[in-house]
Structure 1
Amino acid sequence: MVTAPTSSRAFPHSRNSLNLFRLILAAAVLFAHAFYITGNGHGPMLHGENLGGWAVAGFFVLSGFLITGSRFRHSTGDFLVHRIARIYPAFLVVLVVTALVFAPIAGLLERGELSGFMTTPVTPLEYIWGNIGLHVNSYTISWTLQTVPYAGAWNGSLWTLYYEFFCYIIVWTLGFLAIFRRTVWFPVALWVCAVGVQATMGFWTKLGLDGDFTLLFKLLPYFLGGVVAYVLFERWGMRRWIGIASLIVALVPIFLIPGFGGQLAAPFLAYGLLWLSTVVPQPRLIAKHDISYGFYIYAWPTAQLLMLVGAAGAGVWVFMGLNVLVTIVFATASWLLIERPVMRATRRSQKARTAAVATAPAADAAP
């Protein structure tokens, strides 16, 4: 087990349990979606949001913290390369695997043949091409998944990735501003503004702003809450009593304020979870292998395949257990074959460029 002692110093980036926390959040999303996919209602809800929605909020507050640190540590170009390398290759692979492997298997299970599979809209290639830019425009593939309770939806989890990357671009842009790097109050002001937009969303939708705007400002305050937590950690360090108090304070708006209570709690939730990640130990295997992203993107399509083979007949809880086991297989493959090799190649390329610049001869002085 790996953990780190809490102190009043900077956050221990190399010794924490964030891999475990993200994996737990991904499992919570699987848990919530299992009720929809098996036709067993919505599962536990709070203020109209199921457990999966609150888990996504947890993802975004942690991501805001980590991505801000990445922006401050890397050059503008390296930051974008690292962010694309982390999120996009595995996303592209899951699109291809879903369209060209999972969907044909589903077709055979449902009809026993694949007549018209490649030509019926949305065709498999249309599914890949239409979603290739991270914005999910289609969830269906051909005529598949018409015999399951949540018909036609091949991956109801991928939609958040577009808004996640949008938040990356926001932080990348903010990184050019000296005020963003030098003061706590500017990130706090941005978070307050984002919460204000979310709290008054009815006004903004009346002006004609679409669903993308609504979803962005549902998630952006959580991300900015993580940004605020980062600048607080960097300036005043990590303190146990603040961590405990933050977790307690976060619960108040979450439970008592519908509509924007979670967004209002975001910095406290971020600080509390980050402190907790230095206290709760995680297995060394999870510390070494971060399969949370793969778990998140494969849980839904594997659940739909399990529905087609009748796994829901054993009950929703057994179904969840089987879904966890199958998803771990695909998440591990995604980590070992796609995510880790791409990130390692990206880091090697960065080190090679840095070394080349360091060893290059200085230009001759002009006469």
Structure 2
Amino acid sequence: MWFGSALDVRNNSLNLIRLILAFAVLVHHSWPLAGQGETKFAGYSLGGWAVAGFFGISGYLITSSRWSNALGHYLVNRIARIMPAFWVCLLMMALVFAPIGYRVANGSLEDYFTAVHSPLNYVFSNALLDMQFHDISATPANVPYPGAWNGSLWSLYYEFLCYLFIAALGCFALVRRSRWPMTIAFVLSVVAQANIETISRLSNDNFDVVLMLQLLPFFLAGSVLFMWRDMIGFHWLPGSLSLIVAFTISSTVPGWGVQASALFVAYSLIWLSTVVRQPKLIAKNDISYGVYIYAFAVQQLLAVFGIHELGLFWFSVIAAIITVPLAAGSWVFVERPVMRKVRGARGKSQPKSAPAAAVQLVPGV
């Protein structure tokens, strides 16, 4: 290897890194949800950079999962990891969070279930990850950021599109065997972002295309690192330099510098996971997804009761304290049982002579 050693998929702190990124999104959302302005670097907020980090790490792990699984097993794993907890979250919005907000705003629950963007409509319309609308029966209302109960859920649709993209690429032997097709795909994604105005016109200003091309380079950056893992490895020197290079490119190249820095952002985060120790509790329990999908809603509910007026610090702290049990509940009662069920079913379907590598799943993905 050129640098250091390979990532040990069973001995890293990626759960901790992702948890920190999830809390970074929470902190970022405190500003707009409290009705205050936000600061940005290179056009991206703290939350935007955190989501980019998520996509970079995901690109590495998801490509690993696809390369070690048949297409059917891969898709089942991906659906099982993201969808059940998402569906439960939608139900929580419709049956717990929004009724409280509606009751506070209107004094009763009259017409709650029949108003425009009703609870049933919210769950049904958004069930396939593509968020059609974010309010439920015109709530949350009387808050600094009205009309959205869970603004964090928007990114899951694009995350899943990346899963499908890798699923398709994995069907081609050349892509699996050679490092260059994925590397070229990453370069093309950055070129696409550099020409986003032209692509936007060609797609009739389709906002999905714009957002996808903003996030895809980060996902593919992780995929590229996976493809080159046997040669480059992870070491403190390139890891530290990657942070500097990412800062320099993103701050000096307008328009597409952020995407051009994606490879260095992803490398630095994965390198950090090889040197930062994480508590055993976090290693065995990945609540980062739960934190991500519940934090925004918790903050909105707190804003309904005026907690945001205590100041950004206490608004963030109280939101974090309430979010953690919800995230833990999602992990213990939904995410982990579903994944164990999927892994158990797959194990039973494998012939006894199957090598261990053929049935290995990437932890926490």
2:315 maps to: 319
Cα separation, 2, equivalents of 1:315 and 1:272: 33
Mapping of 1:122-161 within 5 angstroms? Answer: 122-161=117-156
State the SS of the aligned residue for 2:117: coil
Query: Rg larger in 1 or in 2?
Result: 1
Q: What SS is found at the alignment partner of 2:141?
A: coil
Counterpart residue identity of residue 156, structure 1: G
Q: 1:181-219, CA deviations, whole angstroms, 9 ceiling, x for partnerless residues?
A: 122221111001001111111111122251111110010
- Structure 2 match to 1:364: none
Match of 1:182? 177
Query: In the alignment, does 2:345 pair up with 1:341?
Result: no
Q: Secondary structure at the match of 2:350?
A: helix
Q: 1:167 aligns with which of 162, 167, 171?
A: 162
Structure 1 runs (4+) deviating above 6 angstroms are: none
| Equivalent pair of 2:34/2:145 in contact (CA under 8 Å) | yes
Equivalent position of 2:263 in the other structure: 267
Distance 1:211 1:277 in 2: 33
SS at structure 2 position matched to 1:157: helix
With normalisation by structure 2, the TM-score equals: 0.93
Q: Distance in 1 between matches of 2:233 and 2:35?
A: 46
CA deviations over 1:6-55 (Å, ceiling 9, x no partner): x833211101110010011111111111111110122x211332110111
CA distance in 2, matches of 1:65, 1:234: 13
Q: Indicate which of 79, 92, 95 corresponds to 1:84.
A: 79
Contact 1:254 1:262 in 2 (8 A): yes
CA–CA separation in structure 1 for the residues paired with 2:135 and 2:254: 33
For 1:192-231, list aligned pairs within 5 A.
Answer: 192-207=187-202, 208-231=204-227
Deviates more, 1:179-188 or 1:323-332: 179-188
Q: CA deviation at 1:240?
A: 3.5
Structure 2: distance between partners of 1:347 and 1:115? 45
TM-score w.r.t. length of structure 1: 0.93
Question: In structure 1, which of residues 58, 61, 64 is the aligned counterpart of residue 56 of structure 2?
Answer: 61
- Contact 1:247-1:273 at 8 Å conserved across structures: no
Determine if contact 2:42/2:258 at 8 Å carries over to the other structure. no
Q: 2:135·2:147 contact (CA, 8 Å) conserved in 1?
A: yes
Partner of 2:360: none
Q: What is the aligned-residue identity percentage? A: 45
Q: Whole-Å Cα distance in 2 between the matches of residues 118 and 79 of structure 1?
A: 38
Cα distance between partner residues in 1 of 2:254 and 2:5: 35
* Corresponding position: 1:25 with 2:21: yes
Q: Which runs of 5+ in 1 are unaligned?
A: 1-6, 359-367
Aligned to 1:362: none
Q: Contact 2:302–2:308 (CA<8 Å) still a contact in 1?
A: yes
Secondary structure, counterpart of 2:214 in structure 1: helix
Cα-to-partner distance string for 1:113-160 (whole Å, 9 max, x where unaligned) = 011101111000000011011100010100321211111111111010
Q: Separation in 2 of the partners of 1:268 and 1:222?
A: 10
1:273-292: CA deviation from partner (whole Å, max 9, x where unpaired): 11111101111111111000
Residue 247 in structure 1 maps to residue 247 in structure 2: no
Q: Aligned AA for 2:20?
A: I
Cα contact 1:194–1:217 (8 A) shared by 2: yes
Contact 1:187–1:227, Cα closer than 8 Å, also in 2:
yes
Counterparts of 2:224 and 2:300, CA distance in 1? 38
Tell me, yes or no, if structure 1 residue 49 matches structure 2 residue 65.
Answer: no
- Name the CA distance, whole Å, in 1 between partners of 2:305 and 2:350: 52
2:363 corresponds to: none
CA RMSD, Structure 1 to Structure 2 (Å)? 1.4
Alpha-carbon distance in 1 for matches of 2:42, 2:245: 18
2:272 aligns with 276
Inter-partner Cα distance in structure 2 for 1:326 and 1:245: 37
How far apart are 1:356 and its partner, in Å? 7.1
**1:104 and 2:99 correspond:** yes
| Per-residue Cα deviation, 1:304-328 (whole angstroms, up to 9, x for no partner) | 1111122112111100000000111
Shift of 1:262: 1.6
State the alpha-carbon separation in 2 of the partners of residues 323 and 250 from structure 1: 31
Number of the residue aligned with 1:365 = none
Query: Larger deviation: 299-308 or 247-256?
Result: 247-256
Mark the runs of 5 or more structure 2 residues left unpaired by the alignment.
Answer: 355-365
**Are 1:117 and 1:143, in contact at CA under 8 Å, matched by a contact in 2?**
no
Q: Is 1:258 the equivalent of 2:254? A: yes
Distance 2:188 2:334 in 1: 38
Q: Which residue of 2 aligns with 1:191?
A: 186
Deviations 1:52-98 (A, max 9, x none): 01110000000000000001111111100110010000000000110
Match of 1:38 in 2: 34
Determine the structure 1 residue equivalent to 2:293. 297
**What is the CA–CA distance in structure 1 between the aligned matches of 2:117 and 2:349, rounded to whole Å?**
43
| CA distances 1:216-241 after superposition (whole Å, capped 9, x unpaired) | 00100110011111111134433343
